[in-house]
């Protein structure tokens, strides 16, 4: 048996490649090239380690890797010998590719709508809750829990919607989802067979139309007037309608009590369901939030959808469904059939965060700050931009709609604004069939007041027709 001489290579510790992989690559290459013949015995691990200047465990790891790949074979007391390669065509060994550049987080543009200011996130308070759960009950962080979600979080949400939204529901009526979109898909999948029609507001939330169609359903558009979405025509055969009654998206404003009653009577008469998307109702800046339609209905024909993406963090991806008792079993069966998407890891920590009162303190704080920012933006629009249009004050929400005068077209303005680094959106882009909308949707809650002022300077330049508005450097 031929003994392989000592190493003919050296270890380069400046490379990002681990030492044991360098040993593997060197030996693998020599064996594949025939430089180390079949049945040759490799140096003993201890002496080889001394010659290379590495630990014996590193050489052992390299030998074991080569043995697993079939290049060498080990026998107790006899060391390692080179195996026959046969007629196998070995692929050339390529150097490890360079590490990809780190991805930068998505930058929010001024006036992006519906975005919370994550600079206000209570990181220390949240970390304390997570740390406490990890010390006291770490198993709950990885426990998948019940199909409908963490029991403690469902109890916390039941208390929250009772206090803030006027909805009386037990924890068994709460289902935790991976955000509001997952909640909506769960409801549509459960309530509407493929081919059914779903009523959605027009103008409304554009992704909603795509969600409805992705479920194999048809969109039936509900015109929005001064009182809110209009009740479907008598001959409309709808399985459900999706409404934003507390703060219509994107126009703003709450649905009138009389219109709410009309919808509830329609649902009772037709057997259809009302899905209430309560996406940012906590942000009402005068008085308490308007009671939810589901509370007004007593969870009879209304399903309530909520999310923590606007009030707490859009990174957690936690939403929830508050379901009528008659729908608990069908929704549960749908979860069993299609699986749950909500991550279980943050649920116990969020329950602790709500129970400790930190969530309510955070909510009161951001509502005050957002209210100040929104008030500042509205005042400047009314005082300095009246020549371009008008912005009604609905006293709620994370965005404003600035209705343009006829001399400006929202699509063209937004195209030019994008070039100026502004993230505003055209109101007409929220419409499916309705015509005559011409305005700008301006988000403001993620911007501090100096940032709002700088963005308004750029917006004025865009509206004045400057081809290349100067971007503020501050």
Average pLDDT of each block of 10 consecutive residues along the chain (474 residues)? 66 87 88 84 87 89 88 83 66 59 70 92 93 88 78 95 93 94 95 96 93 94 96 93 95 94 96 94 78 92 94 86 96 92 89 94 94 96 95 92 96 95 96 96 95 96 69 45
Q: How far apart are CA 289 and CA 268, in angstroms?
A: 26
Give CA angle at 177 (171, 178), nearest 5°: 150
pLDDT in the model for residue 88:
45
* Confidence (pLDDT) at 359: 94
What pLDDT score does 467 carry?
Answer: 44
CA distance 124 to 122: 6
Determine the Cα angle at 335 with ends 330 and 341, to 5°. 150
Name the DSSP letter for residue 243.
E
- Tokens encoding 345: 């890891």
Residue 284, token pair as written in the block:
């009402």
**Domain annotation for the chain: domains and CATH numbers:** 1-99 (1.10.10.10), 138-356 (3.40.640.10), 367-463 (3.90.1150.10)
In degrees rounded to 5, what are phi and psi of residue 266? -60, -45
Q: Which of 22, 151, 145, 29 is nearest to 85 (CA)?
A: 29
Which residues have CB under 8 Å from 467's CB, separation 6+?
A: none
* pLDDT at position 474: 42
Q: Which residues have C-beta within 8 Å of that of residue 456, sequence separation ≥ 6?
A: 377, 380, 381, 384, 385
Beta partners for residue 174, in sequence order = 322
Reduced to 3 states, what is the DSSP secondary structure of residue 177? strand
Give backbone dihedrals phi and psi of 73, rounded to 5 degrees, phi first: -130, 140
Taking the CB of residue 297, how many other CB atoms lie within 10 A of it?
A: 22
- Helix (H) or strand (E) segment spanning residue 349: helix 345-355
Determine the pLDDT at residue 339. 87
Give the dihedral sign, CA 296/298/299/300. Answer: negative
* Count, residues in the chain: 474
In the numeric block, the tokens 């400046």 are attached to: 14
**Which pair of structure tokens corresponds to residue 450?**
């100096």
Residue-level pLDDT at 4: 64
What stretch of H or E contains 240? Answer: strand 238-243
Q: How far apart are CA 277 and CA 307, in angstroms?
A: 9
Q: Could you tell me where the DSSP H helices lie in 149-234?
A: 151-165, 180-191, 206-214
Q: Residue 400 has which token pair? A: 């404003």
| Residues contacting 128, CB < 8 A, separation 6+ | none
Quick one: which H or E segment has residue 81?
strand 79-82
Q: Residues 401, 250: contact at Cβ < 8 Å?
A: yes
Where does residue 269 rank: exposed (0-12), middle (13-18), buried (19+ CB within 10 A)? exposed
- Token pair 């590495």 in the structure block, residue: 54
Minimal CA–CA distance to 318: which of 210, 181, 176?
176
Task: Report the alpha-carbon distance of residue 395 to residue 203 in Å, rounded.
Answer: 20
420 burial class (0-12, 13-18, 19+ CB within 10 angstroms)?
A: buried
Categorise residue 81: left if φ over 0, alpha if ψ from -120 to 50, beta otherwise.
Answer: beta
């Amino acid at each position: 048996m031929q003994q392989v001489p000592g190493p003919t290579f050296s270890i380069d510790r400046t490379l990002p490649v681990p030492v044991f992989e360098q040993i593997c690559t060197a030996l693998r290459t020599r064996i594949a090239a025939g430089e180390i013949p079949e049945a040759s015995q490799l140096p003993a691990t201890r002496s080889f380690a001394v010659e290379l200047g590495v630990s014996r465990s590193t050489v052992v790891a390299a030998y074991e890797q080569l043995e697993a790949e079939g290049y060498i074979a080990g026998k107790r007391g006899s060391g390692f010998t080179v195996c026959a390669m046969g007629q196998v065509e070995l692929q050339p060994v390529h150097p490890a590719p360079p590490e990809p550049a780190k991805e930068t987080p998505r930058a929010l543009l001024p006036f992006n709508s519906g975005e919370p200011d994550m600079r206000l996130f209570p990181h220390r308070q949240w970390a304390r809750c997570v740390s406490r759960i990890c010390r006291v009950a770490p198993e709950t962080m990885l426990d998948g829990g019940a199909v409908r979600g963490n029991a403690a979080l469902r109890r916390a949400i039941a208390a929250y919607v009772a206090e803030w939204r006027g909805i009386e529901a037990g924890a068994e009526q709460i289902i935790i989802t991976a955000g509001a979109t997952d909640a909506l898909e769960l409801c549509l999948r459960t309530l509407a067979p493929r081919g059914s029609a779903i009523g959605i507001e027009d103008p409304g939330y554009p992704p909603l139309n795509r969600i409805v169609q992705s479920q194999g359903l048809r969109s039936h558009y509900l015109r929005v007037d001064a009182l809110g979405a209009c009740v479907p025509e008598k001959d409309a055969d709808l399985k459900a309608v999706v409404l934003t009654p507390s703060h219509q998206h994107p126009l703003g404003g709450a649905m009138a009590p009389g219109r709410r009653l009309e919808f509830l009577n329609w649902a009772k008469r037709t057997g259809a369901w009302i899905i209430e998307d309560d996406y940012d109702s906590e942000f009402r800046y005068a008085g308490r939030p308007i009671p939810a339609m589901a509370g007004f209905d007593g969870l009879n024909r209304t399903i309530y959808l909520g999310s923590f993406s606007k009030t707490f963090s859009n990174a957690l991806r936690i939403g929830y469904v508050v379901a009528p008792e008659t729908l608990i079993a069908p929704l549960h069966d749908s979860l069993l059939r299609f699986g749950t998407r909500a991550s279980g890891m943050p649920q116990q920590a969020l329950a602790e965060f709500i129970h400790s009162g930190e969530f309510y303190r955070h909510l009161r704080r951001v509502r005050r700050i957002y209210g100040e920012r929104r008030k500042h933006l509205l005042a400047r629009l009314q005082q300095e931009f009246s020549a371009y249009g008008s912005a009604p004050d609905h006293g709620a929400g994370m965005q404003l709609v600035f209705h343009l005068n006829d001399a400006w077209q929202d699509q063209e303005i937004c195209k030019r604004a994008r070039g100026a680094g502004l993230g505003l959106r055209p109101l007409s882009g929220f419409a499916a069939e309705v015509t005559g909308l011409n305005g700008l949707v301006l988000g403001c809650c993620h911007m501090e007041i100096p940032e709002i002022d700088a963005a308004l300077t750029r917006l004025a330049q865009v509206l004045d027709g400057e081809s290349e508005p100067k971007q503020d450097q501050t």
